[in-house]
Each structure stands twice: as structure tokens, then as C-alpha cells.
Amino acid sequence: MKIYLIAAVALGIFILESPSTSAQQWRRRTASISDSLYTASDNAPKFTGNIAYVEGSSAWFLGSLFLNYEFVFHENWSAKLGAGGGYAENIANGYGGLLTANYFYGGDHKFEVNAGICYAGIKEYQLSGEISAREWKITPAFGGGYRYQPAGAGMFFRAGISYYSFGGGAHLGIGWRL
């Protein structure tokens, strides 16, 4: 059985490599068929690279400011590493780090969702006026919204809704694609 398979493969290679007109026509026909299988998304530019940006969020009495560095390793996926701080007026304040996985969809103008963790040291204000000791904890972080991310180097912009352990609400981010 193996000998027949080897002979069939060798015969196919011989036919495809022969200078005959029918073999050349067959190669052109199969090439045009394979070219037609590509869609617009297959020919879209790839969005790999890194992004550095500042992001702020606010919701009434809450606010936060983060410096973020995003590793874009696929046209639709990235990992964000951030550091910053936030406050909730007369309730708490804190600072810490952020690690999220981000999924985005679209061309230069994208829809995005993200989820991850926030490691934060938070001080809480008591109704009696006392301030608690800083408590370090890991909490969920998530969000979603709009992202402008060009294919090449250049300006980066994002806006949406987010939640971190000591901040969140509407967020705006602006930075540079490296």
C-alpha cells in the first residue's frame, strides 16, 4: 500500500512540474481558486506591536489614573499591565497594579472587552472619621468600549466603561502605538 501512495505522489509532482500546457493551466486554475478563498479580513493589516498610554476614569465621586503598557500579540488580543491610583471621595483611596487580557474586534475603529485582576492597597474611611490601615487585596477588573488603534505606529485612543477595585466608571485613554 505504501508503494502505491509513494508512486501516486511522485506521479503528481511529475505532472505538476512538467512543461506541458495542461499542467500550467491546471496550476493557474487552482491558484485563482485559492486566491478567491481569501476574504477581506484575511487581507486586513495585522495589529501587532505595543502601546503605551495614560488612562483616567471617573464616575461621580470615584476616580483613577493609570499608566498602562499593552502587549499586542495578535490582531484581536493583547495583555495590559498598568500601575496607578484612585479614590472614592470620603470612602477610600488606593494604589496598585492591573493585569488584564483584552479582546478587540474591527478595523482601525474597534469594539473591545477586557477582564483581569487588580492588586491594590486600599485605605477606607470610616463614618467616625477614622482611616483604616492600608489593606492589600486582589479584586476583579473588567470593562469594555471603543478603541481607535491604527495598523501602524501612531496615536491610540480608547473610551468606555471600566471597574477596578478603587476606581472605575467612564474611562478615557490616550497614548502612542510603538
Per-residue pLDDT tens digits for 51-110: 999 998 886 667 888 999 999 988 889 999 999 988 877 778 888 999 999 999 998 899
Which cell numbers hold the place of 27?
A: 496550476
Average pLDDT of the chain is: 77
Lowest mean per-residue pLDDT among 13-17, 133-137, 139-143, 165-169: 13-17
* Beta bridge partner(s), residue 167: 164
- For residue 11, what are the contacts with CB-CB under 8 A and spacing of at least 6? none
For 108-120, b/e burial (b = at least 16 CB within 10 A) is: eebebebebbbeb
Backbone phi and psi for residue 60, each to the nearest 5 degrees, phi listed first? 55, -100
- Give ranges for CATH 2.40.160.20 in the chain: 49-177
CATH code for the structural domain at 49-177 = 2.40.160.20
What's the rounded Cα separation, in Å, for the pair 109 and 41? 14
pTM higher than 0.75: no
